[in-house]
Amino acid sequence: MLIQAKGISVAIGGRTVLNDENVRCSPGNMTALVGPSGCGKTTLLHTLGLLLPVNEGQILIDGKDVTNYSTKARRKFWRDHAAFVLQDYGIMDEESVAFNVTMKSSILGRRMKGNQERLSQVLEQTGLPGREDELAGHLSGGEKQRLALARAIYKDASVLFVDEPTASLDATNRGKVIDLFADFAARGSTVIVSTHDSEMISACDAKHEVGLKNSTYHTGMREKAGIGGAI
């Protein structure tokens, strides 16, 4: 899905956080939202994910203006097309790792209704192999972050909204997570990442400097032949 912001302004608590922001996040690409602390990366990510309203401008999905989508329509977008890995991770501490990934319960030891094979695969990919039955509340901060990534990957959504995905990870897991997102984009999803991590940024196809005009560039290790400069 193509996700675009056109001339959006967002004010929070009476203060303008985003002003006339323009960005285009294409399917099959991983787009980094970058800039100094407080420039509005998280705010832009939330706005593109229809979690926050805009004061001016438009949000478009595949060219359709969704700026004034009803709550019901936004919920449908989140349920059917989007996955989020946000800063609070959204982990349910009282539930198992398996439930947090698949959102399907196991009843008194019966087999899970979710896809077991896929569950094992994503836990392996996110460095949590064999941890299905553990209580999520017992995981460390970095493990919870990887659990949130596992959930997003399990869902196989068309659009992935990710806030600082490598913040609590060690070098090995960081490399793994970056590769996972790159694979996700390579399979055709739209991946939008707010990040300060230079390794993550250089793995992205496009980089958007939040708060600066005309500042989306194709970039990085995955740069495709023939694409370069501002878009």
- Residues forming the site for ligand ATP (CB under 6 A): 12-13, 17, 35, 37-43, 194
- In terms of Cβ atoms closer than 10 Å to its own Cβ (0-12, 13-18, 19+), residue 224 is exposed
Output the smallest distance, CB 101 to ligand ATP, in A. 26
Output the smallest distance, CB 144 to ligand ATP, in A. 18
Query: Which residue, 132 or 163, has its beta carbon nearer to ligand ATP?
Result: 163
- Tokens 């979690």 sit at which residue? 51
At residue 5's C-alpha, the angle toward residues 203 and 190, to 5°, is: 35
Output the smallest distance, CB 40 to ligand ATP, in A. 4
CA distance 160 to 42: 14
Query: Which residue, 101 or 210, has its beta carbon nearer to ligand ATP?
Result: 210
Query: Which residue, 40 or 57, has its beta carbon nearer to ligand ATP?
Result: 40
Single out the residue of 137, 39, 145 nearest to residue 87, CA to CA: 145
Query: Which residue, 132 or 197, has its beta carbon nearer to ligand ATP?
Result: 197
Instruction: Count the Cβ atoms, other than its own, within 10 Å of residue 36.
Output: 11
Query: Which residue, 11 or 227, has its beta carbon nearer to ligand ATP?
Result: 11
Query: Which residue, 37 or 214, has its beta carbon nearer to ligand ATP?
Result: 37
- Contact residues for 48 (Cβ-Cβ < 8 A; gap 6+): 3, 5, 23, 25, 59, 161, 192
Helical H segments across the chain, by residue range: 41-48, 71-80, 97-102, 116-125, 141-155, 171-186, 198-203
- In terms of Cβ atoms closer than 10 Å to its own Cβ (0-12, 13-18, 19+), residue 193 is buried
